[in-house]
Amino acid sequence: MDLWSKIVRGIIAHVALLLFSSYGATGEEVCDSPLVSNLLPSSFRSSSHLSNSHGPGYAKLNRREGAGGWSPLSSDRYQWLEVDLGGRTQITAVATQGRYGSSDWLTAYLLMFSDTGHNWKQYRQEDGIEVFPGNSNADSVVQYKLQQPVIARYLRLIPLDWNPNGRIGLRLETFGCLYHSDVVSFDGGSSLLYRMSPRPRQMTRESISLKFKTLRNSGILLHAQGQSGHSLTLELEGGKLLLQLRQVRSSSPDLQRRVSLGSLLDDQHWHHVAVERHNTHLNLTVDRSTQWVQIPARLTHWDLDQLSVGADQLHGSQMSVISNRNFHGCLENLLYNGLSLIDLAKQNDQRVTGKGNVTFSCAEPVFVAVTFTGPRSFLWLQGATDPSSGGVSVGLQFRTWNKAGLLLTFDLPKQEGLGWLYLSMARVHLQIYKAGKVLLELSTGSGLNDGQWHSVELSSRRGRLTITVDAGEGASAHAGPSLPVTTGSHLFFGGCPADETSHECRNPFNAFQGCMRLLTLDNRLVDLILVQQRLLGNYSHLQIDMCGIIDRCSPSHCEHAGSCSQSWRTFHCNCSSSGYGGATCHSSMYEQSCEAYKHKGNVSGFYYIDVDGSGPIRPQLIYCNMTEEETWMVIQHNNTELTSVRPSPGRNQHSVHFDYASEEEQLAAIINQSQHCEQELVYHCRKSRLLNTPEGSPFSWWVGGQGPGPGQVQTYWGGALPGSQQCACGLQENCVDPKHYCNCDADRNEWTNDSGLLTHKETLPVRSVVLGDVQRPGSEGAYRVGPLRCHGDKNFWNAAFFDKETSYLHFPTFHGELSADISFLFKTTATSGVFLENLGIKDFIRIELSSSSEILFSFDVGNGPLEVRVEAGVPLNDNRWHRVRAERNVKEASLRLDELPVATQEAPADGHIHLQLNSQLFIGGTASRQKGFRGCIRSLQLNGVTLDLEQRARITPGVRPGCPGHCSSYGSLCQNRGHCVERSNGFSCDCGLSAYTGAFCNREVSASFKSGTSVSYTLTEPNRNSSAPSSSIYSDFDLTLRAENISLSFKTSQSPALLLYISSYYREYLALLVSEHDKLEVRYRLDSSRDAEVLKSRQRNLADGQLHTVTISRLADAVSVQIDQNPRQHFNLTSDVEFNAIKSLVLGKVHKSGELDPELARLASLGFTGCLSSVHFNSISPLKAALLQPDFSPVVITGPLVQSNCGFSTSANPYPAETTHHLSGQAGSVGTGQPLVNAIRSDSALIGGVIAVVVFVTASALAIMARFLYRRKGAFQRQDVKGTKPEDGPELPFNSQADSLDVPSNNQKEYFI
C-alpha cells in the first residue's frame, strides 16, 4: 500500500473515530475509544530519537514497524514524547508498552497536557501523586484509567525511570472521545449582557456553571442582578475565585455573603466553576474543591433577570471601557439553569447584547515559563558580549511560596566581583561583592512569596543602579553613580551548577524554588524553547514550558480555623488560639467532659470542654461543679436570677428569651452525651395563675429543645411530666387547692410558688418562657430559670472486656481519609495483642500492643507501611489503665502513650494521602482472628466519636460489657487517707478515715472558733446501755494508747491559747497549746502522780494570724513535732509511755477543767479564738464530724461554730473555689412574704451583660487569689504530706478491741462516676 493510500485510510478512520466518539460523549456512553492508533506520523514529536527507525511516529501500541517503538538519543529525564490529537479531546485512560523485541521500556513516567503545545500542565491524581507506574517488560500493556478525565489537544509523556539493563523505549495509546464546547473570548474591554425574557420563575434550585482560562489574576467573570436588588458576582481576585451575594440597596453585613475558593487560577489553564443553590444554602465548586455556604433567608431567591459576562455592564455608566476589573481571557460552556448563554450569543439571540471585541474562539498568548524544582536547578545564559557598553538590563517575572532564594548571579569583570539578586524575608535584595567585602546592598518590595507573578528589573545606566519590583504598582531602589555595574559573560538564574568551582557562580543563599518567565537581557526576550532544545545557554533540573507551582493551602488541610502557610515543598498550620493541636490542628487540646477533668484530679472551676473532641464543634468554657456526688456541667444563660413580673400597659403577656453561653450544637452534644440533665423552673405568684384555665388552654408555657429550629412548646412545669399540663404539686397531689394541679392556679391573694426540676433531656434547655396571667389588678409574679446542669459522661466509662484472644467486636468501616485520630484506654495482663484494625484493598490501619512495653501504630495509604512506636520503658501489662492517642494526617503520624513524649513520623511530601478502607472495623482482634487482645478497652473514640463498646459487647460472645478494677489506676487520686471504692462504672473516694472531704478527699474542713466555742468528741463511754449495739462509736473503757498521730492547722492572734486537749479517766492528758511566748507546747501527763512533761518548739511568732500546720507523732517514749516546713524536732518522755483509758477530745474551750493543772485550767477557760482546720487524731476527725454530722452522738458542740475556708490556702489547687448550686424554692410552699428578687427587671440582655461581667471578674479574682495562696503555701502542704509518712512517725490505730474511732459507716462519700 502506497503512502497516499495510508494517509487516506488514516483520515477516514480518524473521521469515523471522531463521529463515534462524538456520539459517545453526547449520548453519555462510555468514552474509551483509542485515540492514537490511527494518527499520522506527523502528529508525533519527541525531544530526540536514536535513529529514524526509532522515531516518535513508531510509538503506537502493539505496532512493530520501524524499530518497534520510540527510543530517544540519550536516556535521561529530559526526554519526552508528544502526541497531537488533532483537536480538544477528552482523555480517560493511557496505556504504555515497551519497544518491541528489546530490553527497552519505562518503569515510571509523568503525563503532561496542553491546548496549544505550550504551557504544559502536569496531571495529578486526587492524592497529588504525579508519577504513573510503567512496564516490567517490553510486551505487556499497562493501562491506567485517569481518576479525572483530561481535556486537551496535546499530550506529552516524560520518562522518569526505565529498565536499568536497557534504554528508554515506548509504545503508547490513549483512550477517550472528542470534546465539544462553546467558547467565547474577552479582551478586557468586551462583554456580553443577557436579559432574561420572559423572567424566570422562582425555583428552589438554581445553578450557574462555566469554565474559564486567563493569564490575569483579577477580573469579573459574571455579574447577575434581579429586580428585588439581589446580586451575584463571580470575580477573580488575586488568582482566587470570589463569590459575592448581596442586597444592592443594603449595606447590612447580614445581607451579604463573600466566599473565596481556589488558587493560582491565572495559569492559562481551564478551570471549572459551578454555583448551585439549594433553598437556604449553596455549593460553590472550583475544579475539585467544593464549599458549602449558608445564605441569609432574604437572599435565597435570586430572581435574576440580567447577567453581565466579562464585565459589570449593569453599572456601565460608572465603568471605563477597559477596567482592571474586566475579564481578559476565555469562557467555555456558560450555563444558567442548563441554558447555554454562549450559544445564545452565537445565534445572535435578541436577548443578548455584545460590547467590544467578542470572539467565539480562544486566542491564547504564549508565555514560556520555567520551573526551578530544587537546589540543583539552574539556568545559564550568555551575558553581555560587549562589556564596554557601559550598562546592563536584566528582567524577569517570578512566582514562589518561599521567602528566600537566589534569583540571579552575575559576574562583574570590571570590579572583579560578583552580584547577587535574591529573595530574603520576601523582599528583593541586590548585593555587590568583591574580595570578601559587600560593596553595595539594596532591597525593595515586600510580601513577594504570595504565589503571584512579580516582575523584577535590574538596570545600570550611566552609573545609576536601579532595581524595580512590579513596575507601575510596586517599589524600586536606587544607588548613585559611584558604582557602575556591567555584567560579564555569565548569568546564572536560580542557582549554580553543582560542580562549579570557579568564581563565576557561588551561591551563599538558598536556592530558588518557583517559576520564572519573560526573561529579558538588554530588553530582548530570551527564547526558552531554544534553551530547552540545548541551542541556547545551558540548564539542569528544570521543567521548561510549564510552571509547576502548587498551592498546598488550597484547599487547606488545616482544620478548626487553623491558618495555613506554605513553602515550595510543604505547608504549615498555625493552630494558636484554635484550641487544637497537631500538624493539621486536628486534635483537641481539651477534655470532652467535666468527668474527664475530674478523673485527672482537678476540682471545681471553669474548664474548656470540647464535647466532640476533634469534631467540628468548638471548645467552650463551662463551669464544672465537682463538690457533689455527681460531677455537674453547668451552662449559664443570660438571666438565672429570680425576676419580678408586674402588669405593663398594652401588654397581655410577658415573654422572656434565654441566651445560653454555649452555642446550639454545643448544647445538643452536651445533653446527648450526658446521662442526666436538669433545669430548675420556678414561678412565685400572687393572684397570677400559671397553667390551668376554664377553657383548658394554659395561661403560660415555655419553649425548649435542641436543634436549630424554634423549639417545642411545653405546657407542664418543673417537677411534672411532659404533656401533663401540671406542676409538681399536681403530680404529688399536695397542691394548696386540690381542685387545681398547680399552687398558683389557686389564684390566692398570698404568695405561693410552683417549682421543680425539668429532667426530660428531649425538652431541654429552656429557650423562652411566656407568662400570661400578669395583667389583672393585684397580679404579681416572679420567675426563675436556673442554669442547665448535666452529669454523667456516657462515653468516659464505656468499656468492654475481651477474655479470649479470638474474641472481638466489629463496627462499620472507619472513615478517616485525610485525618484520623484514635484514643482509648486499656489495661491487660497479656504481653501482646491487637487493639484495633481496619483493612482496605491495599490500605490498612492498626494499633497493637507489640510487646509488654511497646505500642505500635501502623498504617498504609498507598506509599508503603509506615510505623510509629512508643517504648514505655516499664511493663504495660500491669493491669492498670494506660491511655493511647494516635493521629494520622497528610503531614505526619503521631503516637502518644500516657504522658510520655509524642513519637512522630513524617509522611512523604508528595505521596498518597487518602486512607481508603472498606472492611469492618475490628476492636480487640483482627480479621484473621490472630494476635487478639485480652483485657479491657475503655472510652474508644475515633475522630471524636465514641464507639459504644458496651452495647455491642452485650450481644457478642466472648466479650463482656464494662470493666471493673479502676482503683488500681485511680486509687492515688484519693488523698489524705481517703480510701478508693470500686464501682461498676468508675470509682469513689471514701473520706471516712480522712480529715478532708471532697471528691478526692482533698478539700479541707475548717471552722472559725470564738472564745466560747467548744467541740467535744467522746472517745469512750463507761456506762453503755446494754441495749445499745456493740458499735464503733464507743470503744472499751480500758482503751490504752502507746502511740498517737495528730495533725491540724490553726490560725490565731491569741496567746496563750489551748488548741487541743485529750483527757483520760485516770487524770492523764495530752494538751497542745500556743504559749504566752507565741511558741508551740505539747504537754504529756501519762503518769497522774507526776507533773506534765512540756515539749517546747523552737519556732516563734505562731500567734501571727497566719496559718500554721502541726504534726505530732509518738511511739512509746519517742515524740516528734513538726511545724510548717521547719525541721522535725525529736523528744523523749521520761514518764510512763501508756496513755490509759482516754475519754474525750476537746477543741476550743474546755468546760470541765477540774482535773487540769491550775495553769492549764486557766488557759482552758479562756477558750480559743481563731480558725482550726483538718484536725486528725489517729483515725478520727473530730472537726469534720462536728461540721458535717453535728447530730452524731459522740460530738457535742457548745457556742458558735462556723465553717470557713481558713485552711484553703494550704491547698495546692490553683483552680477557683468550689461552689454548690441549690434549688431556690420547694414545691407546695405557701407564705405571705414576697419572694426575694435581685431586681424588678425583665431585660434579659442587660442581665446577661451584668452576669457576664460578674462571672469574668469573679473568675479572674479567684484565679489570682488561688495562685497567690498556692505559691505561698504550696510547699507547706508538701511538707505536711511528708509528715504523715511511716518513716517520720508511725500511724497506728488504737490497740484495743475497737479497730477505729471513726464516724459511722454511713459517712459522706464523694463518688466519681
CA dihedral in degrees (947, 950, 954, 960; nearest 10)? Answer: 120
**How does 606-632 read in b/e, with b if 16+ C-beta sit within 10 Å?**
bbebbbbbbbebbbbebbbbbbbebbb
H/E segment holding residue 3: helix 3-26
Nine cell digits for residue 285: 465548586
Q: What is the rounded CA–CA span in Å between residue 1055 and residue 1168?
A: 9
Percent of the chain with pLDDT over 90: 54
Nine cell digits for residue 356: 467590544
Q: What is the rounded CA–CA span in Å between residue 84 and residue 72?
A: 18
Q: Are 1239 and 642 in contact (CB under 8 A)?
A: no
pLDDT confidence tier of residue 21, bands split at 50, 70 and 90: very low
Q: Which has more pLDDT, 121 or 13?
A: 121
- Residue 855 pLDDT > 90, yes or no? yes
Read off the pLDDT of residues 408-423 as tens digits, 9 standing for 90 and up.
998 877 667 888 999 9
Average pLDDT over residues 726-730: 93
pLDDT confidence tier of residue 1254, bands split at 50, 70 and 90: very low
What's the length of the chain?
Answer: 1313
H/E segment holding residue 1096: strand 1093-1096
Kindly report the backbone phi and psi dihedral angles of residue 645, in degrees, each rounded to the nearest multiple of 5, phi listed first: -130, 125
Identify the residue whose cell numbers are 487524770: 1067
Specify the pLDDT at position 723. 87
Contacts of 21 (CB under 8 A, 6+ apart): 31, 33, 89, 176, 177, 178
Read off the pLDDT of residues 449-508 as tens digits, 9 standing for 90 and up.
999 999 999 988 777 888 999 987 778 888 765 555 565 668 999 988 876 555 567 788
Contacts of 845 (CB under 8 A, 6+ apart): 814, 816, 820, 836, 837, 838, 858, 859, 888, 915, 917
Q: What is the rounded CA–CA span in Å between residue 521 and residue 925?
A: 68
pLDDT confidence tier of residue 892, bands split at 50, 70 and 90: very high
Contacts 24+ apart (CB under 8 A), 526-530: 526/381, 527/368, 528/368, 528/369, 528/370, 529/368
Q: What is the rounded CA–CA span in Å between residue 918 and residue 813?
A: 6
Specify the pLDDT at position 388. 55
Calculate ∠ Cα 938-942-943, nearest 5°: 140
Q: Are 120 and 545 in contact (CB under 8 A)?
A: yes
DSSP state letter for 130: -
Q: Are 900 and 887 in contact (CB under 8 A)?
A: no
Q: What is the DSSP string of 773-813?
A: ---STT-EEEEEEPPEEEEEETTTT-EEEE-STT--EEESP
Nine cell digits for residue 145: 484509567
Specify the pLDDT at position 1209. 44
Q: Are 506 and 409 in contact (CB under 8 A)?
A: yes
Mean pLDDT of the chain: 83
* Burial group, residue 718, by CB count within 10 angstroms (0-12, 13-18, 19+): buried
Read off the pLDDT of residues 195-240 as tens digits, 9 standing for 90 and up.
887 666 666 788 999 999 999 999 999 998 887 778 889 999 999 9
pLDDT confidence tier of residue 1083, bands split at 50, 70 and 90: very high
* Burial group, residue 1145, by CB count within 10 angstroms (0-12, 13-18, 19+): buried
**Which bin fits 119, alpha (ψ -120 to 50), beta or left (φ > 0)?**
left
Q: What is the rounded CA–CA span in Å between residue 909 and residue 130?
A: 12
pLDDT confidence tier of residue 703, bands split at 50, 70 and 90: very high
Least confident of 24-33, 63-72, 79-88, 413-422: 24-33
Q: What is the rounded CA–CA span in Å between residue 548 and residue 514?
A: 8
Read off the pLDDT of residues 787-842 as tens digits, 9 standing for 90 and up.
999 998 889 989 999 988 888 999 999 998 899 999 999 999 999 999 999 999 99
**Which bin fits 741, alpha (ψ -120 to 50), beta or left (φ > 0)?**
alpha
Q: What is the pTM of this model?
A: 0.77
Q: What is the rounded CA–CA span in Å between residue 1262 and residue 1275?
A: 20
CA-based nearest residue to 1148, from 1126, 1114, 1174, 1171 = 1171
Q: Judging by DSSP bridges, how do beta strands 490-493 and 427-434 pair with one another?
A: unpaired
Max intra-chain CA distance, the chain: 141
Amino acid at the residue 952: R
* Burial group, residue 674, by CB count within 10 angstroms (0-12, 13-18, 19+): buried
- Residue 43 pLDDT > 90, yes or no? yes
**How does 955-982 read in b/e, with b if 16+ C-beta sit within 10 Å?**
ebebbbbbbeebbebbbebbbbbbbbbe
Beta carbons within 10 angstroms of residue 1115's beta carbon: 15
pLDDT confidence tier of residue 311, bands split at 50, 70 and 90: confident
Residue spans of alpha helices (H) in 218-337: none
Q: What is the rounded CA–CA span in Å between residue 1033 and residue 1023?
A: 13
- Residue 1283 pLDDT > 90, yes or no? no
pLDDT confidence tier of residue 512, bands split at 50, 70 and 90: very high
Contacts 24+ apart (CB under 8 A), 146-150: 146/91, 146/92, 146/93, 146/94, 148/288, 149/31, 149/90, 149/91, 149/92, 149/176, 150/90, 150/91, 150/113, 150/123
- Residue 1291 pLDDT > 60, yes or no? no
- Residue 386 pLDDT > 80, yes or no? no
Average pLDDT over residues 1223-1232: 37
Q: Which residues pair with 845 in a beta bridge?
A: 838, 859
Q: Are 831 and 945 in contact (CB under 8 A)?
A: no
Read off the pLDDT of residues 1293-1312 as tens digits, 9 standing for 90 and up.
323 333 333 333 333 333 22
- Residue 377 pLDDT > 90, yes or no? yes
Q: Are 541 and 373 in contact (CB under 8 A)?
A: yes
Specify the pLDDT at position 428. 94
Read off the pLDDT of residues 743-799 as tens digits, 9 standing for 90 and up.
999 999 999 999 999 999 999 999 999 998 888 888 889 999 999 999 988 899 899
Q: Are 1032 and 1049 in contact (CB under 8 A)?
A: no
Beta carbons within 10 angstroms of residue 906's beta carbon: 11
> Which range has highest mean pLDDT (124-128, 919-923, 961-965, 1066-1070)?
919-923
Nine cell digits for residue 1122: 513538726
Kindly report the backbone phi and psi dihedral angles of residue 660, in degrees, each rounded to the nearest multiple of 5, phi listed first: -90, 155
Average pLDDT over residues 633-661: 87
Identify the residue whose cell numbers are 457535742: 1196
Contacts of 119 (CB under 8 A, 6+ apart): 267, 268, 269, 364, 366, 367, 368, 369, 545, 546, 547
Average pLDDT over residues 999-1018: 89
Q: What is the rounded CA–CA span in Å between residue 392 and residue 408?
A: 14
**How does 544-568 read in b/e, with b if 16+ C-beta sit within 10 Å?**
bbbbbbbbbbbbbbbbbebebebeb
H/E segment holding residue 1161: helix 1158-1166
Amino acid at the residue 323: S
Q: Which has more pLDDT, 14 or 1047?
A: 1047
Q: Judging by DSSP bridges, how do beta strands 475-479 and 490-493 pair with one another?
A: unpaired
Distances (CA, A) of 1235 to 411, 642, 645, 786, 1048: 92, 8, 12, 16, 42
Q: What is the DSSP string of 382-394?
A: E--S-GGG-EEEE
Distances (CA, A) of 1152 to 291, 1014, 1016: 83, 11, 11
